[in-house]
Structure 1
Amino acid sequence: MSDYSSRAPAVATAVALPATVYLIAMGAFALGMASYVTAGLMPLIAGAFSVSVAMAAQLVTAFTLAYGLGSPLVVALLPARAQRPGLLGALGVFVLANGASALAGDFAGLLLWRAVAGVGAGVYLALGIAAAAGVAAAPQRGKAIAVIMGGMAGGTVLGVPLSLLLAQQLGWTAALWLVASLGALALAGLLWQLPVLPEVAATSLRRKLALLADGQVLAILLVSLLAAIASLGMYTFIAPLLAWSAQGTAISATPFLWAWGVGGIAGSVLVGPWADKVRPPKLTLFILLLLALALCALPLAAGWSAWLMLAPIVLWGAAGWALQVPQNQQLLDARARQGDGNLAIALNESALYLGSAIGAAMGGLLLLLDWPAWLLAAGAAVVAAMAVLLQLALWRKRAQ
């Protein structure tokens, strides 16, 4: 189930996870902040560089495109013996790029450094998940992956509001310095604590690209893509759905965004123990059912009262974040013999970002066509149901 050829001996699940896992999660916390904080800083950055907000929004595009497209390429080119230096190097690049972003003298330079930060973030997360699974004992690998995803969720839910508050008091660069500082702390800890990782099997680039012809991997990635279209795509349109539900009454989206994020943290934490007890395909199916149920309940709750939406939003956030734990487990398991599970994870992250972009584009088109906002949630539920059906077919096929 891991990239690494040597297996940790089975121990009682009561044994604590290695400190290395929590240090990797600290880096993931900084990644979670960096992935979303720029969107909140856009008005301040637009004013600082005298550009439009629409132009400032391209900083998010640069980060996400580099993350989704650049990181799998770097992971594919990484030598088999470079897992430990690759992990440390990726985090170092991420830290330096965020510091350089804060020091950028013009918008073009800032745009470039956000792209570099995106590549570093994507490579670090892919290698970090594989490393966490490798250093943890066999019965705790699901829990280790859950800790990393919990770090990402915590960075989004807790770190982003904190960094935006800091930016309001000290300027937009303070938020990026905070991200860089947390990443630097994680890097210092990993330089001290990260053990020499067992080597993965040396694989040529041509054999690594053969991963794209692995039907099992492609099916897992398609499930992630559909789930991201439904979950991350719909996240973009919480505010329009609230406006439709409130029928003209002013209502802040902040409590609902917090509810989604708190659900995400809870889901990342709670899925850990179950990930080591329930087979990943079955757990994925169960989580997808919860996601579809939450998205189905969302427009029904919105039709009664905006505040009734809080319950399905919490469940939606929990399911959306928890899902990637068994998904990454399945990918590591599927490519264990080939030794390129970290590349599969990088492709999974790309699928998530692509799904988010597709979902946002489809929702935006429906709004331009003056479709009611409740149909966005209903459409997201349909896509989630498609993911359920696909996962059910995969589960039945593997059970045969």
Structure 2
Amino acid sequence: MDRRIFPLALGALGIGTTEFVIMGLLPDVAKSLNISIPQAGHLISSYAFGVVVGAPVLIAFAAKYPPKKILSYLMIAFVIFNGLSALVNDYYTMMIVRFLSGLPHGAFFGVGTVVATRLAKPGKQAQSIAMMFTGLTLANLAMVPFVTWLGHQLSWRYAFGVVSVLGLLTLISLKFLLPYMDSLRTTTLKDELEFFKSAKAWHIIAITGIGFGGLFAWFSYITPLMTTVSRFDKDFIAYIMVLAGAGMVIGNFLGGVMADKMRPALAASILLTAMILALICVFFFSENQSVSLVLTFVCGALSMAVGTPVNIIMLRSAKNSEMMAAAFMQAAFNVGNSLGAFFGGLPLEFGLSYSYPSLVGAGLAGIGLLLCLAFMKKYKPVI
């Protein structure tokens, strides 16, 4: 890995850990705060809403500063709010703190995505972005399972303490490894926002927000799915999260290569189709433990593979607005996070089994695919 990208990947490791670890600890959090598991799922949505709000707003105010300075201040906020997540004792305060924890997320990736492309060799921009997101995949491969295990053995609060430490390490690496760059803003804020008056911008955001809702409908409830439907012991969940993370590592590499080798919209369409099929299989075959494990790996791979192609679609479409576009994409991913957690939880409110969120996810991914195919038809000469 390019040592200049390492601080971005380390930040992605911390962000990925705080975003996904609560999914593995959902029953523990629910029990500790005296709420139901679907209510605990709202904490996922609260974090995602923080990302949606924070990504464009913070970029709008901060983009005039050098990226190294922006990323450092975002990490300071990340450390503070995740530290508070380890301390609160009631549901409503936790909702507020998780919202605040999400604010730096999208802005960090928004700035980091553009920095990664500027540091990349010609023709390797997608793979450079994927390199940054390696931290996100390693979070799911190693860090999330570790802190999930730690949370089960001691307390879920330790998970957020670990996340805060990762934030501190990111601050140190930003200081010593990330090169200085002038402000990435090349136009005025008003000019940057002009792109988002177009139907094209919101078409890409809709593909991302709805399509990724399919992933999060499944992943938000993976722990109760595995313990109640697949009948794995609770202590085995950490290993299942390792399996999902291993899939994400492979998928991240696959998505970067596909986005550089073919039209990104075509790559995204292929991967969304595969996601639909995989989520339908989760619904029908999760009672079989062996098949359930295979599907966990496959769904993990597909979840990360789609990310790079849709990011490239947006960056190529938003000339002179790349940083704001990348921020909006992070907001869109977390709209998907929020939609998936919310709609995936609806069948559970009606007493249906934990296999049903994946069926909801297949429907959301299906809508994302239709939007992607329509985009390809309309903008074929460009993307």
TM-score calculated relative to the size of structure 1 = 0.81
| 1:314 lines up with 2:297 in the alignment | yes
Spell out the pairing of 1:1-400 with structure 2 (5 A cutoff): 18-38=2-22, 51-53=33-35, 60-99=44-83, 101-102=85-86, 113-167=97-151, 174-238=158-222, 254=237, 256-302=240-286, 305-336=288-319, 338=320, 340-371=321-352, 376-400=357-381
Cα displacement (A) at 1:84? 2.8
Q: Which protein shows a greater Rg? A: 1
Cα distance, 1:350 vs. partner?
A: 1.9
Q: Which runs of 5+ in 2 are unaligned?
A: none
Distance in 1 between residues matched to 2:352 and 2:194, nearest whole Å: 42
> Residues 79 and 358 from structure 1, CA distance in 2 versus in 1: closer, same or farther, beyond 3 angstroms?
closer
Of residues 125-134 and 253-262 in structure 1, the stretch that sits farther from structure 2 once superposed is 253-262
Q: Which amino acid aligns with 1:367?
A: L
Cα distance between partner residues in 2 of 1:155 and 1:132? 19
Which moved further from structure 2: 209-218 or 97-106? 97-106
DSSP 3-state at the match of 2:361: helix
The worse-fitting range, judged by mean Cα deviation, of 112-121 and 25-34 is 112-121
CA shift for structure 1 position 75: 0.9
Look up the SS of the partner of 1:399 in the other structure: coil
> Take 1:58 and 1:223, find their aligned partners in 2: how far apart are those partners?
23
1:92 CA drift (Å) = 2.5
8 Å Cα contact 1:33/1:160 also seen in 2: yes
* One-letter amino acid of the counterpart of residue 61, structure 2: L
Structure 1 unmatched runs, 5+: 1-16
Deviation at 1:73, TM superposition (A): 0.9
CA distance 1:163–1:241, shift in 2 (3 Å): closer
* CA separation of 1:101 and 1:256: change in aligned 2, threshold 3 A: closer
Aligned counterparts of 1:63 and 1:377: Cα–Cα separation in 2: 21
Secondary structure of the 2:372 match is: helix
Shift of 1:32: 1.0
- Distance in 1 separating the partners of 2:174 and 2:133: 18
Query: If the length of structure 2 is used for normalisation, what is the TM-score?
Result: 0.84
Give a deviation string over 1:209-247, Cα, whole Å, max 9, x none: 33332222211111112222211112234456557855x
Question: Would the alpha carbon gap of residues 357 and 46 (structure 1) be closer, same or farther in structure 2, given more than 3 Å must change?
Answer: closer
Which range is displaced more, 198-207 or 36-45?
Answer: 36-45
1:5 is aligned to: none
- Residue in 2 that maps onto 1:8: none
Q: Is the 8 A contact 1:223 1:391 kept in 2?
A: yes
**Cα pair 1:101 1:109 within 8 Å, conserved:** no
Identity %: 24
The residue identity in structure 2 corresponding to 1:327 is V
Alpha-carbon shift at residue 141 of structure 1 (Å): 1.3
The answer to whether the 8 Å contact 1:95/1:181 transfers is yes
Q: Say which is worse superposed, 113-122 or 179-188, in terms of deviation.
A: 113-122
Equivalent position amino acid for 2:309 in 1: P
The one-letter code of the counterpart of 1:344 is: A
Question: 2:302 & 2:30 partners in 1: Cα distance?
Answer: 35
User: Is residue 139–residue 245 contact of structure 2 (8 Å, CA) maintained in 1?
Assistant: no
What is the Cα-based RMSD across aligned positions, in Å?
3.3
Letter in 1 for 2:217: G
